[in-house]
Amino acid sequence: MVTKKTTRRPAKPPAPCPDCKSDGQTSETFLVGGRKKHESTARQEALCMTCLGTGEAPTP
């Protein structure tokens, strides 16, 4: 009799994104001035490019 071994994965919570701290968004300075591209002091909320807004660290 062959018993198939099942590996059960424990449900662990997803790791928070290291970049946005599980916020899903990053505030960053944006560049203004067309070609000159000098940083403005204003900041804008941007979608976190690491987790794509999910707030979870991407798993490979």
Nearer to Zn ion among residue 21 and residue 29 (C-beta)? 21
Torsion angle, CA of 3/9/10/11, rounded to 10 degrees? -140
| Contact by Cβ (8 Å): 22, 56 | yes
Nearer to Zn ion among residue 33 and residue 60 (C-beta)? 60
Minimum distance, C-beta of residue 48 to Zn ion, in the bound complex (Å): 3
Nearer to Zn ion among residue 21 and residue 32 (C-beta)? 21
Minimum distance, C-beta of residue 30 to Zn ion, in the bound complex (Å): 18
**Segments of 1-60 assigned E as strands:** 25-32, 38-47
